[in-house]
Amino acid sequence: MKAILIVLILFVTQVSAQDIRIASYNLRYDNKGDSGNLWTSRYPIISALVQFHDFDIFGTQEGLRHQIDTLSANLPGYAWYGLGRDDGQAKGEHSAIFYKKDKYKVLAKGDFWLSETPDKPGPGWDARLNRICSWLQLQDAKSKKKFYVFNVHYDHQGVRARQESSKLILEKIKTIAGDSPVLLTGDFNGDHNSQWYQTIAGSEVLADTYRAVKKPYANNGSFNSFRTPSSTAIIDHIFVTKQFSVKRWGILTDSYFGKYPSDHFPVVADVTLK
């Protein structure tokens, strides 16, 4: 009888738990100066990479609208959401979120800018460019569990902007998601030593999935500049709230003919919503 009870408990636990493969991927904007690494050559590889590694959800950075549309057309199993950072519609780079459309239902969505006026387009603090964070509330089609996904790209020059962006992110997550489960992906333009990374990682609201596993797969950093990486700095991160446990974390260094699909490597984590 005791053995049957244990089996039943394990079964209920497995059914109630929800596994998610979450990734963050800076696509590199379509720059005509990227000789040898043009978007037209890269997007088929990125599409194949996403499907082979079977991401459930992935946040993208830098993608222009035509890039997002092209990627979407090549990933028929996925839907996406995100606004252009320059006009709140389609202009400029996106912090788009892709998700498996047969696995998740969108309950709510939104965007805010990393600035003193987050409800309208514009740069914040000492940032050089407009920066946007897009978010979704998703519900698993089978388990009916609900959670939020936030995806962001911090400014690459403004130090104060990056510091203030982390404070804003935490405030917005509290306002929008409350105590609900949250996944946060992004290119934070800062490694584990940066103040803005530490603001989030040490917030007691979000934890870095990298630090949640015993053996992270990090043979090099997450930025490659279309060249052989020479740095161990990780600037692309995946954070989770306490409702998640983390099984695996890694940097995917897939290549084709000795080249990389983007100037960043995708960072992926296998997490479980308890």
CA–CA distance, 232 with 42 (Å, rounded to integer): 24
pLDDT tier at 17 (50, 70, 90 boundaries)?
A: confident
For residue 34, is it within any domain?
yes
Give CA separation, 180 vs 174, 177, 261, in Å: 9, 5, 34
Question: What rounded mean pLDDT belongs to the chain?
Answer: 95
Helix (H/G/I), strand (E/B), else coil: 246: strand
For residue 198, is it within any domain?
yes
Domain count, the chain: 1
The answer to pTM > 0.75 is yes
Over residues 147-187, the pLDDT tens digits come to: 999 999 999 999 999 999 999 999 999 999 999 999 999 99
For residue 21, is it within any domain?
no
Over residues 200-220, the pLDDT tens digits come to: 999 999 999 999 999 999 999
57-61 vs 18-26, strand pairing mode: parallel
For residue 206, is it within any domain?
yes
For residue 8, is it within any domain?
no
**Contact yes or no for 148/135 (Cβ under 8 A):** yes
Mean pLDDT of the 252-261 span: 98
241: containing domain = 26-273
For residue 177, is it within any domain?
yes
Burial of 45 (0-12, 13-18, 19+ CB in 10 A): middle
For residue 90, is it within any domain?
yes
For residue 182, is it within any domain?
yes
User: How many helices (H) and strands (E) in the chain?
Assistant: 5, 12
Look up the CATH number of the domain holding residue 198. Answer: 3.60.10.10
- Which is more confident, 126 or 14? 126
